[in-house]
């Protein structure tokens, strides 16, 4: 079980890193536009490239987890990514996180604990 939790934490960190870097890369260029120039600019940033690498590594890790462990235990443990995502939003994206979201994360932590038991 410890190996599964370590893999899920690693996969969740990679997944959240990918999403955080994607958010940073699209925010660099003002408002969103469905133009080739906008996408060309976003796709050529190092943040976008690193986002893709993190997403690929997260997917490969998830494939490994699915091959070895039951989906019914592995998938609920991905709730850890919500916890990491909230911290990423607060510390890296400098988003205001209201108390209700912190309470929600505490509830998720409790749920993940029960799934892991």
Q: What is the pLDDT of residues 38-89, one digit of tens each?
A: 888 888 889 999 999 999 999 999 999 999 999 999 999 999 999 999 999 9
* Residue 52 tokens, joined: 């893709």
pLDDT band at 117 (very low <50, low <70, confident <90, very high): confident
**Residue the block writes with tokens 């929600």:** 104
Those residues whose C-beta lies under 8 Å from the C-beta of residue 89, and which sit 6 or more positions away, are 20, 95, 97
Alpha-carbon separation of residue 4 from 37, 38, 46, 64, 82 (angstroms): 42, 40, 31, 10, 17
3-state DSSP percent of the chain in helix, strand and coil, to 5 = 80, 0, 20
* Boundaries of domain holding 51: 2-116
Mean pLDDT value across the chain: 93
pTM for this model (two decimals): 0.88
> For residue 23, how many C-alpha atoms fall within 13 Å in the half-sphere facing its CB?
13
Query: Based on the structure, what is the number of domains in the chain?
Result: 1
């Amino acid at each position: 079980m410890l190996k599964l939790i370590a893999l899920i934490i690693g996969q969740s960190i990679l997944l959240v890193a990918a999403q955080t870097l994607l958010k940073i890369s699209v925010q660099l260029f003002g408002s969103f536009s469905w133009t080739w120039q906008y996408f060309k600019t976003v796709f050529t940033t190092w943040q976008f490239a690193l986002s893709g690498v993190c997403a690929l590594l997260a997917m490969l890790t998830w494939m490994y987890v699915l091959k070895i462990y039951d989906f019914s235990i592995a998938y609920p443990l991905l709730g850890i990514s919500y916890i990491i995502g909230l911290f990423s939003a607060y510390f890296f994206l400098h988003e205001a996180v209201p108390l209700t979201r912190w309470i929600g994360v505490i509830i998720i932590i409790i749920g993940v604990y029960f799934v892991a038991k």
